[in-house]
């Protein structure tokens, strides 16, 4: 359920920023603001929170997922979440290809986790809340939203840059 909280906080943060922002609310600007909050707080914050759980509360997290306790795999998942969360949070300040790398990495990890959850449900009947509950849906939904926001932001950037070229050429 923590992922839903982080994603909701990210949406709320973006709405507040846009409400206070004096810049024009173009489609690209809206996508840009939502993408920044979504990656930084929504995905990054939830990944860092998950890292803390897998690293420091490994047995409790394993039980909530329906996994056996005591597995060193928890440590590996924890450090993967730590790395991905760090990259996603840094993407708030790093632009260009850094955000795309953060988003692609998170999308691969989350969609891969969703596939793992589905396999667990089908093969073992594991319907534990942290396997078949909200985490399954956010593992699918969050990367798709990220990709949509990135596409929206990039389309607007390209449109604005082509408008700039036309204006610059008109003055030559």
Which residues make Cβ contacts (< 8 Å) with residue 125, sequence separation at least 6? none
| pLDDT the model gives residue 170 | 46
Arithmetic mean of pLDDT, 10-24: 95
Say if 104 falls within a structural domain.
yes
Say if 93 falls within a structural domain.
yes
- End-to-end CA gap in the chain: 57
pLDDT band at 162 (very low <50, low <70, confident <90, very high): low
Say if 63 falls within a structural domain.
yes
Say if 122 falls within a structural domain.
yes
**Global pTM value:** 0.86
Range of the domain at 7: 2-161
């Amino acid at each position: 359920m923590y992922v839903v909280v982080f994603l909701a906080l990210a949406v709320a943060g973006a709405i507040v920023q846009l409400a206070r922002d004096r810049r024009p609310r173009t489609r690209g600007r809206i996508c840009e603001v939502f993408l920044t909050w979504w990656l930084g707080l929504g995905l990054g914050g939830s990944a860092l929170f998950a890292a803390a759980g897998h690293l420091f509360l490994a047995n409790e997290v394993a039980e909530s997922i329906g996994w056996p306790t005591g597995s060193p795999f928890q440590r590996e998942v924890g450090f993967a979440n730590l790395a991905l969360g760090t990259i996603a949070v840094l993407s708030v300040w790093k632009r260009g290809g850094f955000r795309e790398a953060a988003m692609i990495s998170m999308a691969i990890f989350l969609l891969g986790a969703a596939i793992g959850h589905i396999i667990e449900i089908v093969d073992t009947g594991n319907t534990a809340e942290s396997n078949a509950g909200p985490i399954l849906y956010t593992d699918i939904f969050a990367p798709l939203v990220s990709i949509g926001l990135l596409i929206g932001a990039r389309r607007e950037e390209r449109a604005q840059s082509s408008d700039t070229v036309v204006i610059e050429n008109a003055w030559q």
